[in-house]
Amino acid sequence: MFTGIVTALGSVRDIQPIGGGHDLRLVIGTAPDFLTQPTPAVLGASIACSGVCLTVVHLAADAFNVDCSAETVAKTTAGTWRQGARINLERSLRVGDELGGHLVAGHVDGLAEVVSATPENASVRWRFRVPRAIAPFIAPKGSVAIDGVSLTVNEVDGDVFGVNIIPHTASVTTFGTLQPGDKVNIEVDMMARYVARLREYER
C-alpha cells in the first residue's frame, strides 16, 4: 500500500528479458538514502515505480532490481521504459506513517494519454484522456494516481479529466518531462472500484 507521495526519482539502468518470454528484469538506479531511510529496504519489499507496485529481487547501494511479468509489461508504461527513462518512486506505507495523499495500491487500472498542459496562474492544468471503461470511476474533487502521484481531479468532461500541478510537484516527479501524447499509468480511487462492484450486485 502507498500514499501517492513520490519521495524520489529513479532511472532505468538496464533491461533484461527473463524466462524466455516477455517478462523483464529492470535495474532501477536511485539515491542511496531512498533505500536506507527511514529504514533499510529488504529483498521482497514493494516499491511503486511510476505507480506500478513491483517487488525488489536484488539490492545494491544505489539501485534495486525488479521483475515485471508479461501482464505488467503489456498493461502499464513499463513496456515502454528504456535505459535512462525517469520514473517516480515511493516505498510502501508503514503503519503510523503520515497519509499525505490517498490510499494507492499500485495496481494500475489502465493507461491515459496526455491531452494538454496549459499554464494556469502559478500552476499548470494537465488534461488526460482515459479509456471509456475507466472514465466512470473518475469524479470531480475525487482522487486519482497518475504515474504514482496522488492528485485531486478538478474537472471531468466525458473521458477527459484535468488536474493542476504546482511547480514543486513538477520538479520532484516526472511531470517535469511529460509531453502531450505521452502515456501515463492511471489508478482510480479504490473506493470507486468497490462502489461500482457493489452496484453490480444491486442490479
- The fold of 110-202 is Elongation Factor Tu (Ef-tu); domain 3 (2.40.30)
Cα–Cα distance measured from residue 88 to residue 35, given in angstroms and rounded to the nearest whole number: 14
| Confidence category of residue 105, pLDDT binned at 50, 70, 90 | very high
C-alpha cell at 88: 517516480
Residue ranges of alpha helices (H) inside the chain are: 32-36, 70-75, 167-172, 190-202
110 pLDDT exceeds 80? Answer: yes
Domain extents for the chain?
A: 8-91, 110-202
pLDDT of amino acid 202: 67
Cα–Cα distance measured from residue 143 to residue 53, given in angstroms and rounded to the nearest whole number: 18
CATH (residue range 8-91): 2.40.30.20
What is the reported pTM? 0.93
Average confidence (pLDDT) over 179-202: 81
8-91 and 110-202 have identical folds: yes
198 pLDDT exceeds 80? Answer: no
State how beta strands 123-129 and 110-120 pair.
Answer: antiparallel
Cα–Cα distance measured from residue 2 to residue 187, given in angstroms and rounded to the nearest whole number: 12
